[in-house]
Structure 1
Amino acid sequence: MKIHKRILAVATAMVLALGACSDPGSGKAGDTASGGETSAQQWPEATAKLEGTTLTVWAAQSSNQIPAGVAKKFEEATGAKVNIVTIPDGYEQNVLTKVATGDKPDLAMWQPTASMLLPINAKENLQTLDGAPWESKYADGVLDYGGTLDGKRYSAFVSSPSTIGVWYNKEVFEKNGATIPKSFDELLTLARDLKAKGVTPLNEMGGEWWATQWTVQALVADAAADGLWDRVNKNEDGFTGEALQGAIDKYASMIDEGLYNDDIKTGTFAQQAQALLDGKAAMAIATNSLLDNMGSLTDAKTLNEKIGFFPISEKGNRATNHPEQTNAVVAFKTGDAGREAAARQFLNFWLT
């Protein structure tokens, strides 16, 4: 399979429904000085000179390498300075706390869902990105996955919405005669066969708890397509229900069976990426963010040669789509019109 670091096509995708909450912001149309309505004419040329301008970008441990290459090229092209600041995990909670106290960056990696645009008070805190010159550059359908609130766009996708599935080392598969599983039970059969041959079947980064959800999410993909999350949001089902508790129990049994790396409790995101690249593990259940992490350690040619991907679910190869903070960027209203324009220019540079 050919891997592209920014756009990943999957045969079947399901949008994970997230719970809604009340709207805390009112918004001010026409507020161009503070990043309100941004017309197409207000998008600076991508390489316009910006000597003396410093931009701050907030990112998580899982996403701080994503803007790094772009930032370096932007600095070279414009003369600006871009500081990427890593906010500790849990990223979202720490960002919301900082913003609530008035501490804002110029840009930040941020989950492009309504449920995360609401608590950051997008209407008051974020620049609108409507009419951006890069909107037409997206593949068909990408913009439909999020980034808007009440008809206004507040976040820009910098990669396709994350897809939950299995990243695997092609060389390990070939050496051990492995083929792509067509259901989760087939995945377990393969994992047990690899373990019997002395190969670590799966790598998990249990030391960074946020990614331990992916196996459970994959296991409920079929139920989600059948309306699971709608039922959960209506209190007609719950995390102790058959689908979710069953997925959690199966994940726990996989750990108990020793199908993961020995250091699962302390394993990190960086270690997971390196282990898969090095063939120290055959597979990892994760999202696109793992591909970005591996991409920061090697080049696209090596990725295409070594790493493959397949979706998985309980009954088949259904993929779950899950937009996350590694996929999108928001630009803040800082009260500094020059820096706000420079932030829009950075997005223009990145996406065109």
Structure 2
Amino acid sequence: MRRTSRIIRIRGAAALAAGVLAVSLTACGGGGDDDSGGDDEDKGTGDTGTTVTLPKLDGETLEVAAVWTGAEQANFKKVLAEFEKRTGAKVTFVPAQDPIINFLGSKVAGGAPPDVAMLPQPGAIKQAVDKGWAKPLGADAVKELGENYSRGWQDIGTIDGKQYGVYYKAANKSLIWYNAQVFENAGAAEPKTWDELLTAAQTVYDSGVTPFSVGGADGWTLTDWFENVYLSQAGPEKYDQLARHEIKWTDPSVKEALTTLAGIWGKKDYVATGALGTDFPTSVTQTFTGGDQPKAGMVYEGDFAQVNIGETKAKVGTDAKVFPFPAVGDTAPVVSGGDAAVILDDSEAAQALATFLASPDAAEIHAKLGGFLSPNKNVDPSTYPNEVQRKIAEALVASGDDFRFDMSDQAPQAFGGTPGKGEWKALQDFLKNPGDIAGTQAKLEADAAAAYGN
């Protein structure tokens, strides 16, 4: 039986990109407030003018599992600390490993699942529901979602008519960050089309700097590259069909996208050395360290790259600038991702945490720390720490349901979300050998057919 993933149907893929392009991202200043936001309890939030009501939970304990590490984990812990302050509950963060479904399976089998898990894929939510692990959200959390989220973001966390997921964290995965000094020295201009991107890359290369940093050790970064190229080149309808495996990975449209990618990945000296051994955080930091002679001039990834940029001396908006992923076809791609809070051990405390995470209160604490994007439409934009992040957030909210969700995140975990397997491994092999397009397609199709069961 074919497994069908949830997907948002949209009117036009260009709307969010147009919203981002409508502002001068690169002219915006950096800087920000590192306050944890713990004093936000009495502050009005967004358009609601109130804070979320939470029960007193003195003596209650909760475990929250997520794959987040580094600054991302540290910032989320500040949100959890505010929940503790307001309720009296004690919350423990449990570091999880990818794929998180396997991690949760071992916890369930051992009789000690976390109370709440942050799941990065709609496919993972579906699996958690199918396995009987996930519990539906209660009335308070559903009410909070209805007040603060567009229908599209609610639907992604809905399975068989019941709400299971709170999409607490979103991502705009259609951005390319660049070292401003490198571009200035080279005389490179921000591109709006793929051909212009290749021109900028050659200009940077001619100046003596490798154009691209790629975090190939983390296979998900490679799926994101593919999805942006594919969405723009093949179009939304084909994207939806491939996401549901209604067309095969041997389709000519996939060949065309891989051929386009090979124009960068297969170009001698266009990708910083050791890409397959470079994890995502390093791919970002090595682009913004080394003065005007970094290991690369550009790095592709979402708005969350700001967390890693923040670990360098570069300032977002001045030293580190950004442009939307260029149009490969008729329109620029708009790919979004996100992490949803899902309850595994139903309790008053777990439901209260889900309700809190669905509120503007929680999101605003995290937003001011940087590297975070919320789909919550009632988050006050002024809480974002710099103009770049603010405009990206405003464009996401303004787009409503007008986006495509990350394709690999919609796939069964075995194909789209497991290190060393499926799409991650096939694209890592392709990065190593960009000339093997037919072999890559055959491997992708074989793995997809096995994972989808068709």
> Could you state the TM-score of these two structures normalised by the residue count of structure 2?
0.58
Match of 2:203 in 1: 193
Match of 2:90 in 1: 81
- 1:288 shift after superposition: 3.5
- 1:195 shift after superposition: 1.4
Match of 1:269 among 274, 280, 284: 280
Distance change (3 Å), C-alpha of 1:76 and 1:168: farther
Quick one: which amino acid aligns to residue 118 of structure 1?
A: K
Q: How does 1:91-106 map to 2 (within 5 A)?
A: 91-96=100-105, 98-99=107-108, 102-106=111-115
Q: Percent identity?
A: 24
Which secondary structure does the structure 2 equivalent of 1:188 belong to? helix
Quick one: which amino acid aligns to residue 340 of structure 1?
A: A
| CA distance in 2: counterparts of 1:236 and 1:153, whole angstroms | 26
Distance change (3 Å), C-alpha of 1:177 and 1:78: farther
Q: Tell me which protein shows more helix as a share of its residues.
A: 2
2:66 is aligned with 1:59: yes
1:208-263: per-residue Cα shift (whole Å, max 9, x none)?
A: 22221122112111244252134436866322222213322443452332212212
Q: How does 1:235-254 map to 2 (within 5 A)?
A: 237-254=247-264
Quick one: which amino acid aligns to residue 86 of structure 1?
A: P
- 1:341 shift after superposition: 4.1
1:177-202: per-residue Cα shift (whole Å, max 9, x none)?
A: 32221211221221121112122311
Q: Check the 8 A contact 2:213/2:299 in 1, yes or no.
A: yes
1:124-180: per-residue Cα shift (whole Å, max 9, x none)?
A: 622315553543664656635622223332222223354333222334333433222
Match of 1:322 among 318, 321, 336: 336
1:74-96: per-residue Cα shift (whole Å, max 9, x none)?
A: 34454443322221223344335
Distance change (3 Å), C-alpha of 1:199 and 1:95: farther
Match of 1:166 in 2: 176
Q: How does 1:80-159 map to 2 (within 5 A)?
A: 80-96=89-105, 98-99=107-108, 102-111=111-120, 113=122, 115-121=123-129, 125-132=134-141, 134-135=144-145, 138=148, 143=153, 146-159=156-169
| CA distance in 2: counterparts of 1:330 and 1:67, whole angstroms | 16
Match of 1:287 in 2: 302
Distance change (3 Å), C-alpha of 1:73 and 1:10: farther
Which secondary structure does the structure 1 equivalent of 2:120 belong to? coil
2:322 is aligned with 1:308: yes
| CA distance in 2: counterparts of 1:121 and 1:206, whole angstroms | 31
- 1:338 shift after superposition: 4.2
| CA distance in 1: counterparts of 2:261 and 2:330, whole angstroms | 17
Q: Check the 8 A contact 2:227/2:335 in 1, yes or no.
A: no
- 1:345 shift after superposition: 5.4
Which secondary structure does the structure 1 equivalent of 2:78 belong to? helix
Match of 2:215 in 1: 205
Q: Check the 8 A contact 2:213/2:283 in 1, yes or no.
A: yes
- 1:66 shift after superposition: 5.3
| CA distance in 2: counterparts of 1:141 and 1:10, whole angstroms | 20
Gaps of 5+ in 2: 1-14, 21-50, 365-454
1:84-121: per-residue Cα shift (whole Å, max 9, x none)?
A: 222122334433554466542122221363x3322111
| CA distance in 1: counterparts of 2:147 and 2:184, whole angstroms | 37
> Could you state the TM-score of these two structures normalised by the residue count of structure 1?
0.72
Q: Check the 8 A contact 2:234/2:253 in 1, yes or no.
A: no
| CA distance in 1: counterparts of 2:76 and 2:113, whole angstroms | 18
Bigger drift between 251-260 and 340-349 goes to 340-349
Q: Check the 8 A contact 1:165/1:309 in 2, yes or no.
A: yes
Q: Check the 8 A contact 2:228/2:335 in 1, yes or no.
A: no
Distance change (3 Å), C-alpha of 1:265 and 1:232: closer
1:256-310: per-residue Cα shift (whole Å, max 9, x none)?
A: 3221221212111221232244363322222334345445x379x9334333231
Q: Check the 8 A contact 1:44/1:341 in 2, yes or no.
A: no
Q: Check the 8 A contact 1:232/1:238 in 2, yes or no.
A: yes
| Count of aligned pairs between the two proteins | 308
Quick one: which amino acid aligns to residue 82 of structure 2?
A: K
Q: Check the 8 A contact 1:207/1:265 in 2, yes or no.
A: yes
Q: Check the 8 A contact 1:142/1:160 in 2, yes or no.
A: no
Match of 2:46 in 1: none
| CA distance in 2: counterparts of 1:165 and 1:88, whole angstroms | 26
Distance change (3 Å), C-alpha of 1:238 and 1:51: same
Distance change (3 Å), C-alpha of 1:44 and 1:138: closer
